[in-house]
Every structure is written in structure tokens, then in C-alpha cells.
Structure 1
Amino acid sequence: MKFTRRTLLAAASAAAMLAAPLAAEAQNLPRNMRMVIGSKSTGGDTYQNSAIVAEALSEKLGINIKVDAVGASEAFKALGRDKRGTTIMIFHDQSYLGNLYGVSGYDDPFANYAVGPTVAINPGNAYLVPADSPYQTMEDILAAAEAGTRVRVAIQPGGVSEIGFSALKNAAKLRAPGSEENIVAVNTGSQSDKNQAMWDDLADVINGSIQANEQFTQLDPSDEKAMRFVWITARPGTLEQAPEAGMGGTTRDDMLSYASPETSVPVSDSEDFTFDKEFFFLFNKDMDPEVIDAIDGALAEIFEEGQIQERQKAAFFIPNYLSTEDARAHLTQKRDTYKTVIEDIASGS
């Protein structure tokens, strides 16, 4: 059989397509994608995590993906307008918690958008007290509420910051019905606002994070900005995946001592409340399913290769890839669990 230059080129092209099937799929993708995120900060965990994922996807699919920190409201609007697949989104549990709390601009993401794969967990959601606080543990805080002492908790209402506060009120109610009224919210904005509320003696407890607040836990206790962790909401199984050295001067074992079951904030008579802040994709609900499949397939290969996990762990994220199908089932169940906690508090039952 005689091989012409044309047939040789065709054979080489076919072999390349078989060797890199995602590159073939990428031909159907927009060459330029905008990845909007539910944060306006380019220094926060949402941007940091999204940038790691966007870079890996760009390289795998051979397209350009730009992370755009526009904030939740604008991100959802941009996603809702674009059926072509040129706009995709990464956000975290705030996307459905905001809806459950009735925050303006938060539609039900499961009804109005297509929930996609998960990519990472930030295990750092935490609650802290001043270094000189009389409250050494969460048990002390719940006991104080039971004794009639008003405990002020600084949060950013309507999402990840508030869900632990709701769980704390629920735990107080389980322990001594009526004592939950002594767990009161001090509604603030960003993490710096919550920190300042503590320093101005406007809050006894604040919601924070390992990443943002660990540095203050290393200060001399006499420093007016010094803090102590009292609760980390992540599941122990999540924290156990963190580097043994932990972060800063707080080791992984230290972190585990602030998490369930060592630190117990009950959500029922038999179960502690836990919360992992998970990052996942959101797509326009009318977007071509083949585009979603291409992104999902690329992520599966990226996580199978293993390099992205090292980058995530270096930034204190826990790698957490779940396919679109598995992620939707998992996040729906998670939403329903926290919906019950929120409704129980709202109804006073």
C-alpha cells in the first residue's frame, strides 16, 4: 500500500486525537472562558482556589480561562445571562446558604443553575475568642448562655459565617431550651470587620478562619489583638488530610482538638455539628451539557495525575474532586441537612 503525504498526516492527526481525547473535546469549547467567582477579593480563599483550578484546566484543555472576582450577585447575573458556555463559575456553600437565609440576590442554585463538580475544601472555618476571654472552650460558652449570660458572636450574616452561629444557637437550645436567646449575633461585614468588633469589645466570639486568624493566635496573650481558637467546624476526617505541620504555629493535632469530637457542638442528641466549606462549579442551566462533560472529564484527569493536589495542599486546601453527578447528590444532601438546622432555629422549635 502506498502512503501519500496526505494519508500520513491524517494518520498522525488521528493518533494524536486518540492520545489526547480532551484536546479533541476542547475544540467544541469556547477558546476564551470567563470564570466568575462569588467574591470581590483577589486575596481570599475563593480566588486563590479558583486560580489553581483555572490554570490546570486551561493547560489541560488548551483554552484560556480568566478568573474574574466580581462578587456573588454579579457572578450569578453573569452566569444566568450566558447560555453559550463562555462564562462559568466557582463558589462555595454560600451559594445555597445565602438562599436558605433569604439573602437578596441568592436564587436556589439547584433550581436556577447547573451544579457541577467539587474541587476543594477549605477546612479553616473557625470561631475565636480574645486571648484573655473567660471562655476557654465551647462548653464554657454554652454553660454561660445556660446561666443567663449574653454571649455576643460577630458574623457576616447569610451564609458560611452564619451557619456555625445557627448551630451554636441550636446546641444551646438542645442543652437548655430558652438559653439560645442568650447567643446573639453581632452582624458585621468582612473578616477585618469581625476582628475589629472583637478588639473594640463589641463581640465575645467571632467567626474567623485558620488562614486569616492563626497569626493572631500566636501573639503574646497580653497583646490586645491576641486571640484563641475555641472551635473549628471541619469534619475530623477533613482535617486529618491537612499537612501534619498545620499552619503557622498551629499543628494539625492542635486543629483536631478544636474540632468534633474533641470539641462538641451538638446538632442532635447523638451527633455533633460539622461543616466543610466546599468549592464547586456552577453553570448556566441551559448550557450545552457536552461543555460541562468536557470540563468534568478534564478535572477527572487532572486529579488523577496528582499535581493539583500538591498545589492545593500548599495553599492549605484539601483536594476534593467529585464528578458532576456525585457532587450534585452530595451537595443536595448537605443543603438539606443545613436547611433543617436553619429552620429549627427560625421556628424556635
Structure 2
Amino acid sequence: MKKFVRNAIALSLMALPMVAMSADKPNFGNIRVVIGSKSTGGDTYQAAAIVSEALAKKLDANVKVDAVGETAAFQTIRRVSNGSTIMIFHDQSYLGYLYGTKGYYDIFNEFTIGPTFAINPANAYLVPKKSPYNTLDDIIDAVGKGETVRVAIQPGGVSEIGYSAVKNAIKLKYPGKESNFIAINTGSQSDKNQLLFDGLADLIQGSLPANEQFTRLEASDQKAMKFVWLTSTRDTIANVNKNGFGGLSKEQIYSYAEPEVQVPMDATTNFTFDKEFFFLYNKKMPKDQIEYIDKALKEIYAEGEIQKTFEKAFFVPNFRDSKAALEHLQAKSEKYKEVLKNITE
């Protein structure tokens, strides 16, 4: 485990005393984990499955992951308060609310925030390989000079926050020109890819594992792409299993991320974004169950095996107990709220 991850885990582990998991164990029975995705092949399901399997062993309980989608997941945990159903999702939980997306809630008031446990460091933006834009700065400057740049995103969350950050950076550098940076709202990754293939988008939101294969193609190929931005921090990317880079070197990966690629939020701060997975609970879920899950996960991460599983799947392990997770996620939400305020004033 690299120093960055060890430090993050160590700080979180120090917050709670080690306990014997058999002592004062609440009765969990069967636990249903609803996730904010309907896909059983996506990163949310994969991350939830890894942590749920480890938690099931530690709690000696049956834990089942159910891919119901965000609306159904939120409605379910609003309804079930006895701890038999909990939720796993990522930053879209609060971003959807900030964007005013139907079916989302203010999670910090409506639910209890549980621990964070992993990062998907792969959030990316790409252009066609034959595009005249080779860097994100090229795109920002082109928009500032009056060119229209069309961006394919899935609205209302993780896909859109990077678009919003670039639009804010354009406004800071070229006030009044940000309207030339246009979102094309679409759905799945394949839909975004197709818009790029068809020449209907100039830039798309994608991911490292989903889109790296297209960067290996010759520029003459209609499907050939190139990365211009990875939103994660350099420290996060440094802890990714290098086998997840495909044909790209670590040096190439670093060249797409901050500080080499800078997206100013204001005069002193650059935008970065790590897609983090975490638990959410019903507001009335018994406190002893919440505390016990925290302690169980603390022991799981102290044992060190789950980190290996996450790293093999190209996630970055990232455990914070519930208290630390709440503070961290609230701070992220406030930061991104300012970005959205700047581009809507």
C-alpha cells in the first residue's frame, strides 16, 4: 500500500479503538444493500460487491447487493429504518441534489452518512484523436476566442461536474464566453462515445478503463480518441494499480491530471474530483448498528486484504469512519456548490 493510502487509513483507524467484533454485536440478520445504479456491470456494483462480501464475513450476516437505481434506492432507505436495508452510492448522491435532478435529496439532512471505502480514480474527458485540441487549455482558449465546443455528458452528477468546472474556468479567464461551451445531455458511456464517433460532440466525459482502448487506434479511425483530462488528484492516481492503465504509461497518465492540467476554481484553487463510494443509512437506523459497521470496516481495513482486492479491480482503497466521512463529503459538496453558483449567477 502506498504512503498516501496508508496515511488516510491510519488516520481513520486511529479515530476508533480496536474492539472484539463478538462483543455487544447487534442483530443484523439479512442485510439488503441497495445501490444507486441499475447496472450489475458498473463500478458502483463492483465496489459494493467487494465491500459487502467482506462485511458479510465480519458481521456473520447475509448481505445481498441489489442494483435498483438511485430513485428506488433513496426511497427504500427512507422507508426502512431498522438497519435491514442500507445504501451504497458515490458523489452523485449529493451532486444530483445540487443540480436539481428529480429523485435526489439533500443527503446530509435526509440520511445518515456512513463510511467511505473506495475511490474510482478514472473519471476522464476525451476528444477525437484527430481533434485540433490536444490539451484542455486548447479547448478553454478556443472557447474564449468564440469557438463552440460541444460536450457529451450524462446530466446531474459525476459526469456533469467536470463540465461545470471547465465552464467555470472559462468564465474566469474569458468572462461572457462560457456560453460557447455547450453540454449535450445523453445517457450511457456508449451513447457519449457514439456522439464523438459521429462528430456530434467535440469532447466527452468518459473513464480510463472504458475509453483507453480507443486511444490505441490510429488517428484515421473514426473511433480513435485521446485523453485531455483526468479529474483525480495526482496522489490518488499514484495509488492506482498500473495494470489498469492499459497501453498508457504512468507518465502519460500524470500528464492528464492536476497540476499538469489546471482547471481554476478561483484565483488560488484548482478543481479536482475523486469519485468516492460510501454508505448511506436511514436517519432512524439504530445507532449501535451504525457504530458496529464502522468498527467492522475498521477491522477489515486493518487486516489489509480488502485493499488488495480493490487495487486488483483498479479502485483506490479509501476508508473513513462515518464521522470523518460526513465532514469530508460535506466539504466536497460545499466546494462544488460554489462552482455551480459561479456559472449560474
Q: TM-score range by the shorter chain?
A: over 0.9
What corresponds to 1:138 in structure 2? 136
Report deviation, 1:173.
0.7
Report deviation, 1:255.
1.4
Q: Is the 8 A contact 2:209 2:244 kept in 1?
A: no
What is the 5 A alignment of 1:184-195? 184-195=182-193
* SS of aligned partner of 2:204: strand
What corresponds to 1:5 in structure 2? none
Report deviation, 1:29.
2.8
Aligned with 1:339 (options 320, 337, 340): 337
Q: Work out the CA distance in 2 between the residues paired with 1:317 and 1:252.
A: 16
Report deviation, 1:22.
1.5
What corresponds to 1:6 in structure 2? none
Q: Work out the CA distance in 1 between the residues paired with 2:48 and 2:252.
A: 28
What is the 5 A alignment of 1:161-240? 161-240=159-238
What is the 5 A alignment of 1:1-349? 21-26=20-25, 28-347=26-345
Report deviation, 1:33.
0.4
Letter in 1 for 2:327: A
Letter in 1 for 2:209: Q
Letter in 1 for 2:22: A
Q: Work out the CA distance in 2 between the residues paired with 1:35 and 1:92.
A: 14
Which runs of at least 4 in structure 1 moved beyond 4 Å after TM superposition? none
Q: Work out the CA distance in 1 between the residues paired with 2:156 and 2:326.
A: 22
Q: Work out the CA distance in 1 between the residues paired with 2:303 and 2:250.
A: 26
Q: Work out the CA distance in 2 between the residues paired with 1:340 and 1:24.
A: 45
Q: Which deviations, in whole Å up to 9, do the C-alpha atoms of 1:197-240 show, x marking residues without a partner? A: 11111100000011211111122222211110000000111111
* SS of aligned partner of 2:117: strand
Q: Work out the CA distance in 2 between the residues paired with 1:154 and 1:327.
A: 31
* SS of aligned partner of 1:91: strand
Listed as ranges, the gaps of 5+ residues in structure 1 are 1-18
Q: Is the 8 A contact 1:244 1:253 kept in 2?
A: no
Q: Is the 8 A contact 2:241 2:311 kept in 1?
A: yes
Q: Work out the CA distance in 1 between the residues paired with 2:243 and 2:87.
A: 32
Cα separation, partners in 2 of 1:107 and 1:40, compared to 1, 3 Å: same
Q: Is the 8 A contact 1:246 1:252 kept in 2?
A: no
* SS of aligned partner of 1:266: coil
Q: Is the 8 A contact 1:243 1:252 kept in 2?
A: no
Q: Which has the higher contact order (CA 8 A, sep 6+)?
A: 2
Q: Work out the CA distance in 1 between the residues paired with 2:274 and 2:75.
A: 26
Cα separation, partners in 2 of 1:71 and 1:25, compared to 1, 3 Å: farther
Identity, % of aligned pairs? 55
Q: Work out the CA distance in 2 between the residues paired with 1:212 and 1:308.
A: 23
Q: Work out the CA distance in 1 between the residues paired with 2:277 and 2:19.
A: 27
Q: Is the 8 A contact 1:245 1:251 kept in 2?
A: no
Q: Which deviations, in whole Å up to 9, do the C-alpha atoms of 1:259-303 show, x marking residues without a partner? A: 011011111122211000000000000000110111110000000
Q: Is the 8 A contact 1:242 1:252 kept in 2?
A: no
What corresponds to 1:14 in structure 2? none
Q: Work out the CA distance in 2 between the residues paired with 1:25 and 1:148.
A: 65
Q: Work out the CA distance in 2 between the residues paired with 1:297 and 1:234.
A: 28
Q: Which deviations, in whole Å up to 9, do the C-alpha atoms of 1:286-332 show, x marking residues without a partner? A: 00011011111000000011000011011110000001111101111
* SS of aligned partner of 1:21: coil
Aligned Cα root-mean-square deviation (Å): 1.2
Q: Work out the CA distance in 2 between the residues paired with 1:110 and 1:320.
A: 20
The number of residue pairs the alignment matches comes to 328
Q: Is the 8 A contact 1:23 1:62 kept in 2?
A: no
Report deviation, 1:243.
2.5
* SS of aligned partner of 1:169: helix
Q: Work out the CA distance in 2 between the residues paired with 1:25 and 1:33.
A: 18
Report deviation, 1:254.
1.6
